[in-house]
Amino acid sequence: MRIHILGICGTFMGGIALLARALGHEVSGSDANDYPPMSTQLAGQGITLLEGHDPAHLDPAPDLVIIGNALSRGNHAVEYILNNDLKFISGPQWLNENVLQGRHVLAVSGTHGKTTTTSTLAWILEVGGLNPGFLIGGIAENFGCSARLGGADYFVVEADEYDTAFFDKRSKFIHYRPSTLIINNIEFDHADIFPDLAAIRREFHHLVRIVPDHGLIIARQGDMEISKVLELGCWTPVEYFGEGDPLRDDYSEFEIKIDDTPGGVIRWDLIGRHNADNALAATAAANHVGIDSGVVCEALADFKSVKRRLEQLAVINGVTVYDDFAHHPTAIRATLAALRQHVGKQRIIAIMEPRSNTMRKGVHQDTLAGSFTDADHVLLYQPGDLTWDLSRCTKSLGQRRQVFTDIDTIIIKAVGMAQPGDHIVIMSNGDFGGIHHRLQEALQVAC
């Protein structure tokens, strides 16, 4: 079958492309924006990438078009598909019908930590000999890819609450029908599709309603929003995970306890309490399919983080540069707190772009400043079409923060202030105008 994917460079749709290719289909795709790591991954798999959403990409007509949720009515390719009666489907529905049937699905949901937890869980099952298939919203370093078919029995999927497609406004995770479900946390996000937190709780309740009674729900202990979801009705056993016992302040070592019984010590390359919590959730899910904590400790000793999750890009004359996907105040705060615990009194310079739909709507502007508590300097990018004032909402940071309207000036400022021993964290869920490579090049020249 010849399949064309609209929105192929999104992390989810890129994974769908890899799975379709692995099933033997001829796969091509198009997108308005293509940038690493997804574009590099797809090109490496020999998948044809076309720029933009030109209807000409659909002539001759493919056998099937898989449409990503970033496309809507009015898009030229979408209108062409409808007017010419081309066969189309959403990514989540295609995944359900072609990959998930007959498998034990382990789904990882929640506002934060999905990608890292999904990668962690997939790696634990791999080391445990289960040969899982997976679809992750990022490049899993241990596997070198974001998706694979794996064996016939188990599939680990990052379960996103975002909507499915312009023609299916249910959350994507409704299509996955998991037997093991992790709910990491629930906060308000995706303000472009959810009017309030109650609407998000409702979607999570729909997910809870389709987990079988012989399955397992793994929930963060003490999360009030998760409790509210479960109070709406739950027909499945629930296990709770909480904070591990740190053996190092940065959580690079911590102890697992299962019902207050020691289950082993995790020693790994990741840092931060939030990542320790992710590991505990993955441990509980792995245990549900027969993997004991000894295997978990062995697996996580060799676990490598996902790309763009406090990923160290380079050390240039003593200045360490990181790429981080954080785009919500909770995630920003957790990332910087973890780095502070790790580097002690060395300076942290945070560079942030408010790019997510929720951030751009200004939903989090009142809590944004507080998320930079652990940064010594904060350089913020105010794009021309942002409708709220970054300077005003971060005024409480005082002289620690500066706001810029162009990326070149941010780079000049960061290079000018950087000293050996500093840590520069670039925070965005997009390519941020190529700042990652441009900053490294500028640091090289300056040094």
What is the pLDDT confidence band of residue 98, given thresholds at 50, 70 and 90? very high
What is the pLDDT confidence band of residue 447, given thresholds at 50, 70 and 90? low
Domain boundaries defined on the chain: 2-92, 102-301, 311-446
What is the model's pLDDT at position 85? 97
The 10s digit of each residue's pLDDT in 285-317 is 999 999 999 999 999 999 988 778 788 899 998
Higher pLDDT, 260 or 410: 410
pTM of the model: 0.85
Higher pLDDT, 253 or 385: 253
28 close to 50: Cβ distance less than 8 angstroms? yes
Average pLDDT, the chain: 92
pLDDT average, residue stretch 173-180: 97
The 10s digit of each residue's pLDDT in 116-168 is 999 999 999 999 999 999 999 888 999 989 999 999 999 999 999 999 999 99
What is the model's pLDDT at position 48? 87
Task: Count how many residues are written for the chain.
Answer: 447
166 close to 153: Cβ distance less than 8 angstroms? no
- In angstroms, how far is CA 174 from the centroid of its own chain? 18
Give the CATH class of 102-301: alpha beta
Rounded distance between C-alpha atoms, residue 43 and residue 46, angstroms: 5
What is the model's pLDDT at position 329? 87
Rounded distance between C-alpha atoms, residue 43 and residue 38, angstroms: 9
CATH 3.40.50.720 holds for 2-92: yes
Whole-angstrom CA distances from 440 to 95, 223, 416, 437 are: 38, 39, 13, 5
Beta bridge partners, 424, equal 321, 349
Rounded distance between C-alpha atoms, residue 257 and residue 222, angstroms: 17
What is the model's pLDDT at position 247? 85
The amino acid sitting at 292 is D
The 10s digit of each residue's pLDDT in 3-54 is 999 999 888 999 999 999 999 999 999 998 766 667 788 888 889 889 899 9
Q: Which CATH architecture has domain 311-446?
A: Alpha-Beta Complex (3.90)
Give me 310's structure tokens. 């406090």
pLDDT average, residue stretch 73-89: 97
